């Protein structure tokens, strides 16, 4: 009884507060970002001028995500939509069609990045394509801090052109954040030099850009397309690769079930180490903390 009346009272107060605010006192720019790392970039660049939300909820995989109508409405009320591109957000075309590009500024952060081809473009299994877009390469560019800088630059340029009154603040924040990302890159370079192993196997090709940047080798992936079960032939290939390369670990991800990886790891007698490409396991940290977390995990397997 008591709790009920408290709830009703607070609902009443909330309603009252909303009535007072019909003129929308929040003048901040509303920005939708597709994934958590991009939302952090948005906040780093936007500062107090921006309020942001993430489209793909923590714990969901972009590769299997479907947009619900409430989220479409939320994006509809935003001024800017920040995307990764490279086929990571197949739902975005419909959103842009529905909302209209004159109402919603779209920033595709991978625009200036030369994408790596995905595994499937080498061995085509009857029309099966990684990440839906036949023309696109591997979308996981944000996991290389140097490419992340290019994404940050796109966001800053997009914000500055959409809201020129705040351009100076956006560009100043961009420069400060770029310096921190370069420092992160240096930090990782120093660490990697002391690792004795270079080869790893991971669940899907998330760590390809990271490997490319730091001289590591993604020896095999369990699936090119999350949501699709790997064939027995693929499983056998992964186990053979683990044995041949002497890779120390299989990297899993919180977005996908570990049971398959456990079976493979057991067969090849290596450990399973969970990495987090999206920031799902981090409560309050941003992109830099996410990368430091991942690097520490990778180091535990490869050092």
Query: What gap in Å lies between CA 204 and CA 49, rounded to an integer?
Result: 37
Phi/psi for 200 (5° steps) reads -145, 160
Q: Which is nearer to Zn ion, 60 or 146 (CB)?
A: 60
Contact (Cβ atoms closer than 8 angstroms) between residue 298 and residue 188 = no
Q: How far is the CB of 207 from Zn ion (least distance, A)?
A: 10
Query: What gap in Å lies between CA 195 and CA 282, rounded to an integer?
Result: 25
Q: Which is nearer to Zn ion, 197 or 212 (CB)?
A: 212
Q: How far is the CB of 219 from Zn ion (least distance, A)?
A: 18
Candidates 148, 175, 146, 113; CA nearest to 41 is: 148
**Two tokens at 210?**
């990271």
Residue nearest to Zn ion (CB): 206
Query: What gap in Å lies between CA 251 and CA 206, rounded to an integer?
Result: 10
Q: Is 280 exposed, middle or buried (CB count within 10 Å of its CB: 0-12, 13-18, 19+)? A: middle
Q: How far is the CB of 40 from Zn ion (least distance, A)?
A: 17
Which residue in this structure is represented by tokens 């080498």?
Answer: 122
Q: Which is nearer to Zn ion, 78 or 84 (CB)?
A: 84
Q: How far is the CB of 278 from Zn ion (least distance, A)?
A: 8
Query: What gap in Å lies between CA 168 and CA 70, rounded to an integer?
Result: 34
Q: How far is the CB of 116 from Zn ion (least distance, A)?
A: 13
Q: Which is nearer to Zn ion, 225 or 248 (CB)?
A: 225
Name residues contacting Zn ion, limited to 8-27 (CB under 5 A).
none
Q: How far is the CB of 41 from Zn ion (least distance, A)?
A: 17
Q: Which is nearer to Zn ion, 56 or 206 (CB)?
A: 206
CA distances from residue 241 to 44, 172, 220, 225 in whole angstroms, order as listed: 40, 47, 7, 19
Q: How far is the CB of 206 from Zn ion (least distance, A)?
A: 5
Q: How far is the CB of 56 from Zn ion (least distance, A)?
A: 11
Q: Is 162 exposed, middle or buried (CB count within 10 Å of its CB: 0-12, 13-18, 19+)? A: middle
Q: Which is nearer to Zn ion, 206 or 260 (CB)?
A: 206
Q: Greatest CA separation found in the chain?
A: 68
**How many positions of this chain bind Zn ion (CB under 5 A)?**
1
Contact (Cβ atoms closer than 8 angstroms) between residue 136 and residue 110 = no
Q: Which is nearer to Zn ion, 84 or 169 (CB)?
A: 84
Name residues contacting Zn ion, limited to 197-216 (CB under 5 A).
206
Q: Is 4 exposed, middle or buried (CB count within 10 Å of its CB: 0-12, 13-18, 19+)? A: exposed
Residue partners of 160: CB distance under 8 A and separation at least 6: 166, 167, 170, 171
Q: Which is nearer to Zn ion, 51 or 274 (CB)?
A: 274
DSSP code of residue 24: -
Positions that interact with Zn ion (CB under 5 A) = 206
């Amino acid at each position: 009884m008591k709790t009920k009346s408290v709830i009703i009272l607070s609902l009443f107060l909330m309603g009252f507060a909303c009535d007072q605010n019909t003129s929308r006192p929040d003048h901040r720019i509303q920005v939708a970002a597709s994934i958590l790392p991009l939302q952090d970039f948005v906040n780093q660049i936007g500062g107090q001028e921006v309020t942001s939300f993430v489209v793909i909820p923590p714990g969901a995989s972009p590769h299997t995500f479907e947009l619900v109508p409430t989220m479409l409405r939320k994006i509809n009320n935003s001024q800017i939509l920040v995307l990764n591109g490279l086929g990571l957000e197949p739902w975005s075309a419909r959103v842009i069609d529905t909302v209209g590009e004159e109402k919603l500024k779209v920033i595709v952060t991978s625009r200036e990045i030369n994408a790596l081809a995905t595994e499937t473009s080498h061995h085509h299994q009857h029309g099966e394509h990684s990440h839906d877009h036949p023309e696109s390469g591997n979308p996981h560019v944000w996991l290389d801090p140097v490419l992340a800088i290019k994404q940050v630059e796109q966001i800053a340029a997009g914000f500055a052109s959409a809201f020129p009154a705040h351009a100076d603040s956006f560009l100043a924040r961009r420069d400060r954040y770029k310096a921190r990302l370069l420092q992160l890159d240096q930090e990782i370079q120093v660490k990697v030099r002391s690792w004795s192993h270079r080869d790893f196997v991971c669940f899907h090709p998330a760590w390809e850009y990271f490997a490319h940047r730091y001289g590591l080798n993604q020896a095999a992936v369990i699936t090119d397309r999350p949501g699709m079960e790997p064939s027995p032939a693929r499983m056998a290939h992964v186990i053979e690769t683990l044995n041949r390369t002497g890779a120390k670990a299989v990297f899993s991800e919180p977005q996908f079930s570990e049971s398959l990886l456990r079976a493979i790891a057991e067969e090849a007698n290596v450990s399973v180490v969970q990495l987090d490409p999206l920031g799902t396991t981090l409560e309050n940290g941003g992109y830099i903390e996410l990368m430091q977390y991942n690097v520490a995990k990778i180091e535990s397997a490869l050092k």
